[in-house]
Every structure is written in structure tokens, then in C-alpha cells.
Amino acid sequence: MKPLAGFEPNRTDVLARLLAGDEVDIQRLVSDTGLSTSTVLRSVDDLMNAHGLIESRPSAQSGPGRPGRRVAVNRRFSLVAGVDLGGTNCRIVLADALGKPLAKVRLATPRDRTAEELGDWLAAHVSALVGEFGDGAHLGAVGVGVPGAVSSERDRVVGSLNLPAIVGTAFMERVSTTLEVPVRFDNDSSLALLGELSYGSTPPSETTVLLILGTGISAAAAVRGEILSGAEGSLGEFGRLPLPGTDARVRDLLSGAALPEYATRSGHPMASSRELLSDPDAFRDLLSDIHGALQHVLGIIALAYEPATILLSGGFSDVFPPETLTAIAERMRAGTEVDCEVRPSSLRDDSGLLGAMALGLLALYRDHGVAAEQLAGLPEATSIAAALKTAPVPAT
């Protein structure tokens, strides 16, 4: 499918309105876009006949004259894939042009591969999903969240403790050249926040910070719906911060990868951070230090951004049950005098995958001339998130 040639505002205005996901009649399109009836009809015919982006059917006739037409986006004109690449696991979702998940897969990340080998591996699994579940439709764009700092141009991974092979440009270039479609990359925490803003319960108009506690620790912040970024991708890398009065860094106490080594070194031997959940009494002193570390980070976030909401996500966040998180948040608010809500993210582990899918959708729309500010709105958020839960997986 070729993208729309050049900047053609009439067609892109019509397409942007239809990307809201509902079926509308011609007169509603005229009203919503401000274009004339003849212009809308020409745009609809071109989008349908020359590009296959939309589909049309007759509407019920309410009076004399020619029957009306109802139009909607052809969901299968193109597919998108979202990839949540982690240091331990990789999740991939395949969706239609309006973001309805069609299939998903969860795989162990092959950490021992070179950048090129890892790129080939990822591209092969994306292509396999398209072949098995795409029903003949072609792949149009891909969004990829990576576990590391990404440059402001989104063309280079600056650093990654959990997956060193992706550092540099070779991994990104291999995925893009192999799939031969627009592929957009970003930091996994930024895409998790994009997922929350697009499909979660957090109003985009608020200042929101998402703190991800998983294999590593990272954060992303959004102000009035705009996700912030730094020149070298270090924004939100709070895991690097030293903890006052200790020789430890934040990541030593608040990430699943670093905690076992730190705990053992501090006289609390453990093989895995999951032991905190299975036998918390055995690690009472260590848990107190972990709670203090979280309070420290939340205080820095509150004073730096004055957010309305701080969301927690990632597997390690399970260490903080609701009553514990409430108590930590209350102490943070008392110490900083910043009144912000602290709660688990509504999408939990699905936020990064849905954010990667949203990035793929934006790349697809832009490839057809639609700017982000033109979009009338993404399809119904709750239905997208629910559909991801029940999306089929490959048989093998």
C-alpha cells in the first residue's frame, strides 16, 4: 500500500476524522470537517478506490432522492505491530489499522545474540504473526519499546544495562531494513506512559509520571499529554541516583536484577527478588530499606514535576501491596508538601505493549499524511485494552 502522495489536506482531514473508529454518513463528515459536500465525496471516492483506506455502504433512505452513504476506515487496509522488548521477555502484538489486537505472543529474549542477530530474530517473529493472523493484509508500521536510553532523534540506543546488544544503531537498522516498513523506536518507559495516556484511565491533560520497577528501573513524564524527552535519553533514569547515607544506588534496592546481589552483600542472601513476596518476614529489615528508597524516589519525582498522578508499574512493584504503597505515599506527601496521587497503573504490564502499538499506529497514520494533531481520537480505550487480554496466540 502506497502512502498518500504529498500534503493533501482535504483527504487527510477526512481520513483523520474516520480514524476515530466509528462509521459515519457523508453529511456528518461534512459537518465535522468543515469541507463542502462535493469535496468530501471526492475525498471519500479517492480514499476508497485509489487507496483502499476506507469502505462504504448505502445508508437507510429517509426521503426522496439518491440513497446516502456511510463510510468507515477499512480496518484491514494495513496492519501494525507493537513490540515491548525487555531484558528478560519480549511481547509482540499484531493489530488492525484501528488498533484492535488480532494476535499476541510472549517470548524469552535471546540475550546472547549480536545486534544483527537480535534484529533478525525480532523481525522474523513479527513477520510470523502477520503470516499466521494477518488474513492476507500487509504490515504497515511497527512500534518498538526498548529497555534503554534512546537519543532525542530516536535513531540510537544510548545505553542499556539489561540488553547491551541493542546499544548503538545496528539493532534498529537491522529491524527496519528487514521488515521494510516504517519502524519507530522509543524507550520502554516512555511507551508505557503513552499506553496509559492512550488506553488507560489517566487524563492526558494532567501532568503524569510513570515509574517502572521491573528488571531495571526507569520513569517517564508527560505534561498536558506531551511525553518529555532529553537529548541523550537520560530523563527519568532515577535508578542511577545514590541513596543518601549508603554506598547503594536506587536501582540496587528497586529493581529485580540488582536487588539479590545487594541483599546478599548486605547480609540478606537471596536468589531472587521474588523471595520478598513469598517470605516477607525473613526480609523485614531489607523491606524497610526498600520502602525508604521508594519514598526517596517518589519525593524527587513530586518536587521535580509536581504531577497530579504518579503511576507504578512493572513486576517489582508487586513488592508494594496497596496498604504499604498508601503509607509510603502519605509519608512522601508530608515530606514534600506536594499533593499528588500515587497508585498502580491501570494497564499494569500491558501498558508498554499498548504504547508500542500506539506508536506503530501513529507511524502508519503519518505515513498516509495524517498528523497527530489532526486525529479525532483513538478508538475506545477500554475495548482495546480488553481485546489485548483475549487476543489469540500462535499454536506453537
Q: What is the CATH number of the domain that holds 186?
A: 3.30.420.40
| Residue with grid cell 530474530, as numbered in its chain | 121
| 121 and 217 fall within a common domain | no
Three-state secondary structure of 58-99: ECCCCCCCCCCEEEEECCCCCEEEEEEECCCEEEEEEECCCC
Question: What is the rounded distance in angstroms from the CA atom of residue 242 to the CA atom of residue 250?
Answer: 6
> Given this model, what pLDDT does residue 384 score?
60
What is the value of pTM for the model shown? 0.84
Number of domains in the chain: 3
Cell of 318: 508487586
Q: What is the CATH number of the domain that holds 39?
A: 1.10.10.10
Sign of the C-alpha dihedral computed for residues 353, 358, 363 and 368 taken in this order: positive
Residue 2 resides in a domain? no
> Given this model, what pLDDT does residue 209 score?
97
> Given this model, what pLDDT does residue 40 score?
87
Residue 259 resides in a domain? yes
Q: Which residue, 193, 148, 189, is CA-closest to 172?
A: 148
Question: What is the rounded distance in angstroms from the CA atom of residue 22 to the CA atom of residue 379?
Answer: 8
CA 363 to chain centre: 13
Contact 361, 198 (CB under 8 A): no
| 34 and 69 fall within a common domain | yes
End-to-end CA distance of the chain: 30
Q: Which of 73, 101, 117 is the last residue of a domain?
A: 73
Q: What angle do CA 266, 271, 272 make, to 5 degrees?
A: 100
| 236 and 310 fall within a common domain | yes
| 54 and 96 fall within a common domain | no
Q: Which residues, at least 6 apart from 298, have a Cβ–Cβ distance to it below 8 Å?
A: 211, 310, 328, 329, 332, 342
What are the angstrom distances between the C-alpha of 227 and each of 195, 210, 292, 344?
11, 11, 28, 19
Q: Which of 327, 344, 361 is the last residue of a domain?
A: 344
> Given this model, what pLDDT does residue 7 score?
38
| 174 and 219 fall within a common domain | no
Q: Which of 57, 73, 89 is the last residue of a domain?
A: 73
> Given this model, what pLDDT does residue 386 score?
59
| 55 and 84 fall within a common domain | no
The tens place of each residue's pLDDT in the chain, 396 residues long, gives 444 444 366 778 888 788 776 788 888 888 888 888 889 888 888 888 766 777 877 766 555 545 568 888 888 889 999 999 988 899 999 999 888 899 999 999 999 999 999 999 999 999 999 999 999 999 999 999 999 889 888 999 998 888 999 999 999 999 999 999 999 999 999 999 999 988 888 888 889 999 999 888 889 999 988 899 887 778 888 999 999 989 999 999 999 889 999 999 999 999 988 898 888 888 999 999 999 999 999 999 999 999 999 999 988 999 999 999 999 999 999 999 999 999 999 888 899 999 999 999 988 888 777 766 655 455 554 456 556 666 667 765
| 31 and 153 fall within a common domain | no
Domain span at 111: 79-195+349-390
DSSP 166: G
| 67 and 83 fall within a common domain | no
Q: What are 24's strand-pairing partners?
A: 71
Sign of the C-alpha dihedral computed for residues 80, 163, 180 and 364 taken in this order: positive
